[in-house]
Amino acid sequence: MIHRCTRTLALGWALLAANGCVAWRRQDVTPKQLIQEKNPSVVQVTRSDHSKVQLYQPRIVGDTLTGHPSDLAIQRLAIPLNDISAIATRYRHIGKSLLAGLVILGGVAVYGLLQSLNTY
């Protein structure tokens, strides 16, 4: 019973790890070109002062990039295009996902081993 529970828990954590590791990839195009061609659901903007902000549902309005500061936000933020020094899109990082999955599976295996040593 304990081994089945341990395996189920390990599988669940591995699936979460595979979906959770994302990274940002800097794009070499202008923000306007990126939004028009790829229409990403979220972007990470680096401003001229090196601060970073994520914008969900980004849109170009005139000479401004607008978007929501979170996935559930109602209010939109506006950043002038000339204040943007870099823009990045999100992608799944396979290496980080595999590493996280292996760490989780290793932890569950060690836990299972320690539990098996506790038998009377």
Residue 82 reports pLDDT greater than 70: yes
Q: Which residues contact 16 (CB under 8 A, 6 or more apart)?
A: none
Contact 49, 40 (CB under 8 A): no
One of 3.40.50, 2.70.50, 1.20.1630, 2.30.30 is the CATH number of 21-95, namely 2.30.30
Residue 23 reports pLDDT greater than 90: no
Encode pLDDT of 96-107 as tens digits: 667 777 788 788
Which of 14-18, 32-36, 50-54, 88-92 has the least mean pLDDT?
A: 14-18
pLDDT at residue 2, as a whole number: 52
C-alpha to C-alpha distance for 25 and 90, rounded to whole angstroms = 6
- Domain definitions of the chain by residue range: 21-95
